[in-house]
Amino acid sequence: MNFATMNCRQVERFLSAFVDMDFSGLTPTEIVSLEKNIHDCPDCSRELRLDIATKSYLRKRHTETPCPQPTIDSVVAFVYHIYQSMKASYSMDRHAGN
């Protein structure tokens, strides 16, 4: 990418990753440029704070809901049925010489 200085549109593409501290794909120079823009630009700084608040809110309210056993049983039975059908089809193809 090689942005010596990033504009707001370029920064916007990286804000979510910045909040997650995922700098993959950015050079150290680009990271510094991203940080400088966020520091210097009130709009980008506000967007960053909003992104941080949103992710924080979602993380606090995220709860895992266990899957009901009947649903698990149904999915397992379906997958097993598909497996058996494919196995039978493969066996028939081999006996037919295909």
No. of H helices and E strands in the chain? 4, 0
Position 3 confidence tier, pLDDT thresholds 50, 70, 90: low
pLDDT digits (tens, 9 = 90+) for 23-45: 888 888 888 989 999 999 999 99
Both tokens of 18, joined, read 């910045």
| Contact yes or no for 48/18 (Cβ under 8 A) | yes
Q: State how far the Cα of 24 lies from the Cα of 27, in Å rounded to an integer.
A: 8
- What value does the mean pLDDT take over residues 43-49? 93
| Residue 21 DSSP class | T
Which pLDDT value is given to residue 2? 47
**Can you give the residue ranges of every domain in the chain?**
1-63, 65-98
How close are the terminal C-alpha atoms of the chain, in Å? 51
Whole-prediction pTM value? 0.56
Which pLDDT tens digit goes with each residue over 50-65?
Answer: 999 999 998 888 788 8
pLDDT score, position 75: 96
* Tokens (6 digits) for 67: 């899957």
CB atoms within 10 A of CB 73: 10
- Cα distances (angstroms) measured from residue 13 to each of 9, 23, 45, 66, 78: 7, 12, 14, 34, 41
- pLDDT confidence of 92, banded at 50, 70, 90? low
